[in-house]
Amino acid sequence: MSCSSARLARSSLLIVALVLLALSAATSVSLAQGPEGLPVSSSIVEGGAFKSSGALVADVGFRPDMNGLPFENYGAGPFVNLTPAEMQRLFGDQACASTEGGNCVLHPQVKEIMDRWNKSMEGGHCFGFSFFALRAYKGQLNPSEFGAPSISQIKLADNDKFQREIAFSFVQQFNPVVKNAIIKVTAAEAIDKLLELMKPGATELYSLGFYKADGNGGHEVTPFGVEDLGNGLYAILIWDNNWPNQVRAMLVDKNTNKWAYSAAINPKEPSEMYWGDTTTKPLELTPIGPSGMWQAYCPYCANGDGRAVANAAPILKENVIFLTRHPQQPIHALITDDKGRRLGFTPDGKFVSEIPNARAENPKTGPHKSWTEVEEPIYYVPADLNVTITIDGSLLKTKQTADLVLIGAGYDIGVESIRLKPNQKDTVTLSGDGSKLTYKTESSESPDLIVAVQDAKTKVDYGFLVKGVDVDGGGTINLALDTAKGKLSVSSAGSKKPGTYGLLMERIDEKGEQVFWHDDLQLAPGDSGYLNYAAWSGNKGAVQLEIDRKSDGTIDEKVELTDDELVGQAPQVADIPGGKQIANTPDLDKLAANIAKWVGFTKSTYEAWELPATSTWEDTLTYYDEQMLQAGWDGEGEIDEFDDMIFGLWVDETTKTGLVIIYVPSPDGVQPAFDIAVFGG
């Protein structure tokens, strides 16, 4: 869906306005035609809105123009999502390793789940929009808390408190308490249930979730009424947060038990058609519930045998697996257990589910950018299950990046910054207790390895990042955490040259967090290194590394690793050829500051450039890739798109340094293109 009609302007002020508008815009249309026999109605008018007769057989009183948010569902961009404060609200103090000074320092694995949930919001916040609006309509939220007299007047820009509340509302779809309350229904059952739930005097409100026919592309909307169109045809009136201020409708034919909802601008076009019958995923009605319902049992906490609230149901101990990648890039996971049973996608894109007590869940983000966007499902497997995961780039057209992380009750482990080429397949073997990882790649890689553990007995947590691990094509890297001995081990096989890695270690106890960083950890191929992390006392002290040459079981050398200062410098790049630098303005200052906050730069500068009308994104990206390579950065820039803008990102999350560029192409081949470069460090 493309809801922005703005076009390039010559002044930098209008360029900034265009960028900011596009960052919150829904986007493009593509064809996804449903089968014959779906319900249709002439009440769906030009623009996709529903022209109601006003004769509703059920009505809760909610109206999109008065009770909905005035802007579209947004995804990635310079917005704030979850912070430790929201995780503490969700899981209680058990989410915090330390609350010293009133600040919650999250357990490492709880921070990891927060980061992964935040990443999933880059596809959209539709569940958060619907849940937020219904909470406000129910009186559980006061719009004045977010700087407006009514919900329909809330502003998105520079409203951190509102953005965080949207994120908190979004993750309720992962809350075990909320999930247990969902009512799953067919199309015909949905009408009967809504007529029952929307009776006069009803005190509960419900959000409505649904999926594409293939089970992907989850979306969440706000139902507020039902209209009987005659002959078994009904319209469920909804506020779709991709379409501010509009009354839209899901059509239901009770005779055929089918439903259809066109999310397109033109109802005569079969584009963006959601539909379902008894063979597809059911519709989902989620109650808003009382405010206290939202503090959940924490399945990711080592002390998770307790419950944050009395009504939290016991939860099956399980691990959650995230494959994080760009939603428009077809990188898939195929999880295999020791018996050869599978969960995930086969190389031809077919989904399989053969592992008992395992499942895949598609987050409801509401594709705000493109109908073709499909996030990888979130996978859940039994906690005692060892798995081998194939990260499959068979369907890729260009080189792309992915992360794979497993999170359990008191631990997390994974591989980040995997650069997959078309047809490349890498494998990661993970132990069910989160203590061991083996990564094997078909192409030379320098990924980052992570592992963390929460010790509920000693109340000391440790988190580790082994950065830039060099492994040749066909090679293997192993990572293991021995909590009994207090040692972290790293080894490699199949590489031809020594590797130099960075090592980040976090130690968190009730008094707070201490960080150790060493940027020159060297291991020869076939060697094993053992880090005596439990002996580290903090306070800038050294850590001992034991080296077993050729991994024959004998310690051959002991090295004291010093605690280096964790600092980074902004990359230096040459002026872009053919470019004309634009003077900084207050509006550009604000834009650059928002971008810096979005990617986590603690210090930043920026440059804005006018480029020739003939410039292309491909040439611009190649130029910056080459410049960053000369500046010592490995890998190519990450790519994201927002309407007429394209983003390139080179960001080191450890040192909070890097570069983000925004490219705005010429609209007509005559007017100039533009480039804004934000440097972190």
353-395, pLDDT tens digit by residue?
A: 999 999 999 888 875 445 556 779 999 999 999 999 999 999 8
Q: What is the pLDDT of residue 23?
A: 34
What pLDDT, on a 0 to 100 scale, did the predictor assign at position 375? 78
Tens of pLDDT, residue by residue over 206-226, are 999 999 888 888 899 999 999
CA 321/CA 41 separation, integer angstroms: 42
Mapped to the 3 state alphabet, what secondary structure does 639-665 carry? EEEECCEEEEEEEECCCCEEEEEEEEC
Give the pLDDT score at 269.
47
Does position 611 have pLDDT exceeding 80, yes or no?
A: yes
308 pLDDT above the threshold of 80? no
What average pLDDT does range 385-410 have in this prediction? 93
| DSSP letters for 490-528 | EEEES-SS-EEEEEEEEEEETTEEEEEEEEEEEE-TT-E
Q: What are phi and psi of 598, to 5 degrees?
A: -60, -45
pLDDT, mean of residues 67-78: 90
Q: Taking the CB of residue 549, how many other CB atoms lie within 10 A of it? A: 14
pLDDT at 264 (0 to 100): 64
Please tell me the predicted confidence (pLDDT) of residue 151: 96
E strand or H helix at 412, and its extent? strand 411-420
What crossing angle do the helices spanning 84-91 and 160-170 adopt, rounded to 10°?
40
Q: What does DSSP assign to residue 204?
A: -
- The mean pLDDT value for 658-672 works out to 90
pLDDT score, position 294: 64
Inter-residue contact 142 to 57 (CB < 8 Å): no
Q: Give me the pLDDT at residue 346, please.
A: 92
Average pLDDT over every residue of 414-429: 93
Query: Angle formed by the axes of helices 586-599 and 12-23, to 10°?
Result: 30
Query: pTM of the predicted model, to two decimals?
Result: 0.86
180 close to 313: Cβ distance less than 8 angstroms: yes
What's the mean pLDDT in 39-49? 87
**pLDDT above 60 (res 112):** yes
Question: 530, 107, 15, 575: which is closest to 303 by C-alpha?
Answer: 107
More confident residue, 152 or 635: 152
Q: pLDDT higher for 565 or 259?
A: 259
Residue 540: the pLDDT is: 83
If phi > 0 it is left, if psi is from -120 to 50 it is alpha, else beta; for residue 394 that is alpha
* Tokens of residue 379, six digits: 């996978």
What is the mean pLDDT of the segment spanning 507-515? 92
Closest by Cα among 229, 228, 248, 239 to 58: 228
**Greater model confidence, 66 or 500:** 66
Helix, coil or strand: residue 574: coil
Average pLDDT, whole number, for the chain? 86
| pLDDT at residue number 322 | 96
- 296: how many CB neighbours lie within 10 A of its CB? 25
Question: pLDDT (tens digit, 9 = 90+) per residue, 24-40?
Answer: 333 222 234 567 889 99
Task: Tell me the average pLDDT across 620-635.
Answer: 83
Least confident of 183-197, 238-252, 426-440, 627-641: 627-641
180 CB-contact burial (10 Å; exposed 0-12 / middle 13-18 / buried 19+): exposed
Strand partners, 361: 378
Please tell me the predicted confidence (pLDDT) of residue 641.
64
What average pLDDT does this structure show over 44-57?
88
Average pLDDT (632-661) is 77
